[in-house]
Amino acid sequence: MSKQTKRREALIYHAKPTPGKIKVVPTKKYATQRDLSLAYSPGVAEPCLEIEKDKNNVYKYTTKGNLVAVISNGTAVLGLGNIGPEASKPVMEGKGLLFKIFADIDVFDIEVDTEDVEEFIQTVKNIAPTFGGINLEDIKAPEAFEIERRLKEELDIPVMHDDQHGTAIISAAALLNALELTEKKIQEVKIVVSGAGAAAISCTRLYQAFGAKAENIVMLDSKGVIRKDRSNLTTEKAEFATHRKIDTLEEAMVNADVFIGLSTADIVSPEMLLSMAKDPIVFAMSNPNPEIAYDLAVATRDDIIMATGRSDHPNQVNNVLGFPFIFRGALDVRATKINEEMKMAAVKALAELAKESVPEQVNIAYGETRLAFGRDYIIPKPFDPRLIAEVPPAVAKAAMDSGVAQNPIVNWEKYKEELLDRLGSDNKMIRLLSNRAKMNPKRVVFAEADQLDVLKAAQIAYDEGIAIPILLGRKDTIKILMDEIEFEADVEIIDPKADEEEVRKNKYAEGYWQYRKRKGVTLYSAQKLMRERNYFGAMMVNEGDADAMISGYSRSYPSVVKPIMELIGMAKGATRIATTNVMMTQRGPMFLSDTSINIDPSAEELAKIAQMTARTVRMFGIEPVMAMISFANFGSSISPRASKVKDAVALLHEQEPD
């Protein structure tokens, strides 16, 4: 796509069909005069009076507790510089969009037309009663430091300058994991920081909070190495001035373990990389182009751990991993501030999440097949659905432990479920089944366990305690894949083709032959079939050696259903089988039948399938509301295929009047 095309698409995106990216949506009914009288005069007086009695009631009767102000004066916007408040508005609206889609936080973007520090601070203080939190955005240094410091001291709601702390939190999580992979200690590594703006200062301070030593840090600005003997240093730069007699980035990089880039593009050469210590950690976070191109860096050093701010390379340091979830946790306990303890808790939560098995939906979203903790995956991906349930609780708990929470959380499991419900990333039915499964985990045969995705599913089932996996497949392949995804569990692995399984295979073959010998099955053919995983797995279930079987990932539907029908068969009293698919939606689950078995069922068969589906739905604690679909619209077609659906509905009403 050409630069001009991208520009045109971006402008159309922001202008059509409605200008901008966010809007206010009513949360209460407003259809009748009665609704309006409750929403405004005279009904609105009642919550006003309650809040007058106790200001804390504002959280009970208004949106304050879930409302954040994104405030900027447009003096340091992205890579655009000082473009003014109006020109910064698209960015602030975009920030509001990210708050909403990642953490369900409502936002008003506020653009302030002043570069005066005192005037800016007073403006924010004057409007602060409206909001539950303040996100400062795109304010140039050094003014940003003073503005944030003062507002944190003078307001009793969370205040955070994301440009400083967002990058710091995400990069710190990545740094901790990179150090773990390279078996280096943060107290010992030599760190070079290119850049001395708000983000660079905040990053370095946070690294120090985790143990980095001041004597091991060299910071550079546009003039070179920040040394103690340089005059006219700002307070922030003086904090990181070094005694070392070096002046250039090239000198600073010699034997350095870590490079943190928050400056400008293409300032790091291959020669500088080669001069770094073994297993160098390079976070080149300048946008849109990093301090050294990713491809050049990894071609120069094969032992490098590389991160950038770009989404088209591994290990993207993206602030969206931080600010929505940090504010979510802070708002939910009504924290009076976002302190160091809360930021460090977010860092640890992100670092730990990167070490866990990656959900398949994340792999699919990013076009990956084998995302796993390692040099190319040291921080979670922004669309990882687990973030909402992991980071906010960590932040909220840190707020409580550090004494800044006004509304402590008591039931953490319930809180996590509420977080998941906010984004529709989970469903009550799934959680109900999961909780029920944890109470009595069943033995589940994974018939295609030498497929990576199937093995990951088994790992998740094991890790969450909802099943005891039994893995079928080639043992050597399964063990290699288990090592790859760090699936460390003492689970049963069975290869039906292996000689060591002869006794069990012969037992199952004898049993299968007894079931099917009147239908043309010989003992020899039964023995051959027991080498097939679907038959072997079905026999395990039939013989009580397992409770359930999962198959069909790499095999056709009929080849999976056939052994199940031959060995396990239909429920008592059933006359046919059908398939039900469950589709999870924001409104809840939808059950679709029959999607795979009966190609052209009669009206009687359709009615029976509907009854079977209703019984299945009730097993999940849901009372079914059923619809039968055909291609006719209110009798518009007299086709027999459409008419039989009408006949099936009539049969259902007759047989199931309720």
Q: Judge contact between 278 and 190, C-beta under 8 A.
A: no
Backbone dihedral region of 20: left (phi > 0), alpha (psi from -120 to 50 degrees) or beta?
A: left
Provide the 10 A C-beta neighbour count for residue 334: 21
Report the alpha-carbon distance of residue 81 to residue 392 in Å, rounded.
Answer: 32
Please report the sign of the dihedral spanned by the C-alpha atoms of residue 328, residue 65, residue 75, residue 228: negative
Write phi, then psi, for 283 (nearest 5 degrees).
-110, 95
Provide the residue count of the chain.
658
Would you call 6 helix, strand, or coil by DSSP? helix
Backbone dihedral region of 633: left (phi > 0), alpha (psi from -120 to 50 degrees) or beta?
A: beta
Would you call 585 helix, strand, or coil by DSSP? strand
Residue appearing with tokens 């403006």: 123
Asked if 95 is an active-site residue, the reply is yes
Asked if 23 is an active-site residue, the reply is no
- DSSP bridge pairs for 442: 467
Report the alpha-carbon distance of residue 409 to residue 197 in Å, rounded.
Answer: 36
Neighbour-count burial of 367, counting CB atoms closer than 10 A to its CB (0-12 exposed, 13-18 middle, 19+ buried): exposed
Would you call 582 helix, strand, or coil by DSSP? strand
The reply to whether omega before 290 is within 30° of 0 (cis) is: no
HSE-up (13 A, CA, CB side) for residue 399: 28
In the numeric block, which tokens belong to residue 246?
Answer: 């070096």
Residues 6 or more apart whose CB falls under 8 angstroms from that of 490 comprise none
In the numeric block, which tokens belong to residue 136?
Answer: 């400062």
Reference 204, options 150, 283, 276; nearest CA is 283
Reference 604, options 654, 541, 554; nearest CA is 654
Among 6, 29, 30, 40, which one carries the catalytic annotation?
Answer: 40
Backbone dihedral region of 84: left (phi > 0), alpha (psi from -120 to 50 degrees) or beta?
A: left
Cα angle value 603/604/605 (rounded, 5°): 90
In the numeric block, which tokens belong to residue 89?
Answer: 């508005």
The packing angle between helices 198-209 and 143-154, to 10°, is 60
Residue appearing with tokens 């770094």: 276
Report the alpha-carbon distance of residue 623 to residue 213 in Å, rounded.
Answer: 62
Neighbour-count burial of 54, counting CB atoms closer than 10 A to its CB (0-12 exposed, 13-18 middle, 19+ buried): exposed
> What is the H or E stretch that residue 71 is in?
strand 67-72
Reference 534, options 558, 513, 509, 560; nearest CA is 560
How are beta strands 258-261 and 442-446 bridged, if at all?
Answer: unpaired
> What is the H or E stretch that residue 300 is in?
helix 294-300
Q: Judge contact between 507 and 530, C-beta under 8 A.
A: no
Among 21, 64, 89, 95, which one carries the catalytic annotation?
Answer: 95
Report the alpha-carbon distance of residue 346 to residue 160 in Å, rounded.
Answer: 14
Catalytically active residues, by annotation = 40, 95
